[in-house]
Amino acid sequence: MSSFNEQFIYSIIIIALGYILKKSTIIKETDGEGLSRIIFNITLPALILVTFNDITIEYSLFVLILIGFAYGLFAAFLGILVFRKQTRNIKGMLAMMVPGFNIGLFAYPLVEGIWGREGVQHFGMFDVGNSFIVFGVCYFIGSYYAGEDVRLDIKTMLGKMIRSIPLMTYMVVLLLNLVDFKLPSVIIGTADIISLANMPLSLLLLGIYLNFKFDRRYINLIFKYMAVKYIPGIIVGVALVILLPYDDMFKYTVLIGLLLPTSMSILPYAVEFEYDKRFVGTVSNLTIITSFILIWIIAN
């Protein structure tokens, strides 16, 4: 069995474990709120710190940052447009789930198993642009539609972004990497140990929030969301593969990058903004399965 398939099986097992622990009342669904804050403020920043500390950045790859950011903006506007007729709460929930991808938790293990460190380097650069979308744009969309009096201006948006610990971690570590400043080994070693908990905790959180019973009106929303999430990604990804004058690794990064699952950071956002956590968890799992199938087809 390939490492690619093994990683998928392990992920499914951990998600199922979280679901079983919840159904057996060993863990309560309300426990997920504290777990989501640990992931968002501790384990995810640690993962970012370790990943970028070891990456040698080639300036030719900065175009991947632009692609990740530009597509994220396009997807954000598309989500708001498509779901504009929904209620304010549902529109905010769905619109913040369209842009942004799960790279650190889903893509890295699979990419490393298939393409090694070269793959991690490419996807790491793509994730820089994606991080602005996930920790900036997605957060702002969620907060804007969750509140009645949130002002839509640059000052408010920058304030939200600055308070995002993962985004600030990306910015600081990228800057240190560019000036070739190496953090002390004790810091990297500690972050490395903490980062190991990020994937299992995030997958457990998905299982805790997983629920197969929800309002029937969600069925249409799920189909509509999946169409908005994947169809544009396939079209844009294939077009860029044809048009971009770069090597195969670069093109694989773009194509696969635009087909990755919904960012797991959306779950902590759903908790913070009091959206439907069960719906978000269920749809996030569906995108993981869908993305795996699409990436398996491409990788093979």
- Count Cβ atoms below 10 Å from residue 238 Cβ, excluding itself: 14
- Measured CA distances, 119 to 9, 50, 140, 253, 295 (Å): 21, 16, 30, 8, 14
Q: CA-CA distance, 85 to 24, in Å (whole number)?
A: 39
Domain boundaries, the chain: 3-299
Q: CA-CA distance, 208 to 21, in Å (whole number)?
A: 8
Whole-model pTM: value is 0.77
Query: Which carries the bigger pLDDT value, residue 97 or residue 210?
Result: 97
Phi-psi region at 260: left, alpha or beta (left = phi > 0; alpha = psi -120 to 50): beta
Q: What is the dihedral sign for C-alpha 165, 170, 175, 181? A: positive
Q: Which of 239, 276, 264, 267 is nearest to 254 (CA)?
A: 239
pLDDT tops 70 at residue 125: yes
Q: CB of 14 within 8 A of CB of 7?
A: no
pLDDT of residue 73: 95
* 215-250 residue pLDDT tens: 677 788 899 999 999 999 999 999 999 998 888 888
Does domain 3-299 fall into CATH 1.10.3470.10? no
At residue 153 the predicted structure's pLDDT band, cuts being 50, 70 and 90, is low
pLDDT of residue 105: 65
Q: CB of 55 within 8 A of CB of 177?
A: yes
Give residue 101's Cα distance to chain centre. Answer: 4
* Crossing angle of the two packed helices 198-209 and 31-38, in degrees rounded to 10: 150
Look up tokens 């004058």; give the residue. Answer: 245
Q: CB of 274 within 8 A of CB of 143?
A: no
Residue 273 carries which side chain, given as an amino acid letter? Answer: F
